[in-house]
């Protein structure tokens, strides 16, 4: 049994946008010596989150708009009383969706269904570089 930590730097567009991480996670698993186990995909930020979705452009729009309605950017947030802060919506969304996703793999491949893609949602306003940790564990 082995534990391998990898870090991805992801250039996001911000604004609630989605980044597809699937191919990069797949590559990182292949580069380890592990055949089977789990990968924990963990985003090191409080205004971004990870999940799985079908990356169909219409659906991606639907999903971004779903979060816009659920925790609107324009709503009143006490967090904005802190000087310089204007991203209460991004924190609320990120904590609800969650920064951590665990995916099994076998024969060096994640056990994803046909349409499943591992994605990061960057709910914060500006584009930026995000760090995503992959903890690959198995044998």
List residues binding its own copies (CB under 8 A).
Answer: 1-3, 5, 36-38, 40, 42, 44-46, 51-54, 56-59, 61-63, 66, 70-71, 77-82, 88, 91-92, 95-104, 106, 111-113, 115-116, 131, 133, 135, 137-139
Q: How far is the CB of 13 from its own copies (least distance, A)?
A: 18
Q: Would you list the DSSP string of the chain?
A: -EEEEEEEEEEE--TTEEEE-HHHHHHHHHHSS-SSEEEEEEE--SSEEEEEE---HHHHHHHHHHHHHHS-TTS--GGGGSTT---HHHHHHHHHH-SEEEEEEETTEE---TT-EEEEEE-SSS-EEEEEEEEEEE-
Please, which residue, 10 or 137, has the CB nearer to its own copies? Answer: 137
Q: How far is the CB of 27 from its own copies (least distance, A)?
A: 18
Please, which residue, 16 or 37, has the CB nearer to its own copies? Answer: 37
């Amino acid at each position: 049994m082995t534990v391998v930590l990898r870090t991805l730097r992801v250039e996001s567009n911000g604004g609630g946008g989605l980044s597809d991480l699937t191919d990069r996670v797949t590559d990182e698993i292949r580069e380890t010596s592990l055949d089977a186990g789990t990968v924990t995909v963990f985003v090191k930020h409080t205004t971004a989150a990870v999940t799985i979705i079908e990356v169909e452009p219409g659906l991606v729009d639907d999903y971004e708009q779903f979060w816009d309605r659920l925790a609107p950017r324009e709503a009143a947030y006490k967090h904005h009383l802190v000087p310089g802060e204007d991203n209460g919506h991004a924190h609320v969304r990120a904590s609800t969706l969650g920064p951590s996703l665990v995916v099994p793999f076998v024969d060096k491949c994640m056990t994803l269904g046909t349409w499943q893609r591992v994605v990061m949602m960057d709910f914060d306003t500006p584009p930026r570089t995000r760090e995503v940790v992959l903890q690959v564990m198995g044998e």
